[in-house]
Amino acid sequence: MEIFENLPSFSEIKHHLPLEIEKESMRIIKEELLQNGISVAEENEKVILRCIHTSADFDYAKNLVFSENAVAVFKKILHEEKPVIVTDTNMAFSGISSAFCEKFGIEKFCFMSDEEVAACSKKTGLTRAACSVDKAARLFRDRKIVFAIGNAPTALVRIRQLSDAGFLHPSFVVASPVGFVNVIQSKNLILQSGFDFIVASGRKGGSPIAAAIVNAVLYME
């Protein structure tokens, strides 16, 4: 590929090698947290830093909620137990590292474009996200399931409904839907569930945050 040369430079732009950019970003984030007097628990730091890195939003230092020993529990599941990861968007599916999933023998799925899910939604009036949870519960009843939900409150509601009815036993739930309708209420259902979880409380979140949380734990040594 041809590389253009002799282009103008800009004094305010600092040059970093590609591999240095993320490292420098994390340094800046840590520095700004310290300057603002914000401390985070050491065991949760890598997840919090990656969410801030993904969003440039320092609110994630405060609004991420972790169940007891959540990161250690999640790391064991991802690194040792070969779960399936089910997302509610193709963006989250694509954002979760395929290379690291392959490394740890993890399969990931998004059923939002699945014909069976589309038919279920049309027949029942449920959202595709809710029907995707139903499909995962049926398909993976004998496997460990991690849900990474970054968009659809209805998926969180369905996870809780199926769990309370005894049809689903999620191994871990990442809950970060973004928006206004039933977002806080659905996250509260996960917070009150007894699941192992990481929840982006409040209205903020999104598929990139769901993927960032999963990746932060996948990347741990």
Active centre residues (catalytic): 53
| The two structure tokens encoding residue 64 | 């991420």
Are 49 and 30 contacting, i.e. CB atoms less than 8 angstroms apart?
A: yes
Nearest partner of 218 among 176, 175, 174, 181, judged by Cα? 174
Per-residue DSSP letters for 90-125?
Answer: HHHHHHS-HHHHHHTT-EEEE-TT-HHHHHHHHHH-
What distance in Å separates the CA atoms of residue 144 and residue 83, rounded to the nearest whole number? 5
User: What angle in degrees, to the nearest 10, is found between the helix axes of 128-139 and 115-124?
Assistant: 120
**Could you tell me which residues are beta bridge partners of residue 197?**
173
| Residue 206, phi then psi, degrees to nearest 5 | 120, 165
Kindly report the length of the chain. Answer: 221
What distance in Å separates the CA atoms of residue 26 and residue 45, rounded to the nearest whole number? 11
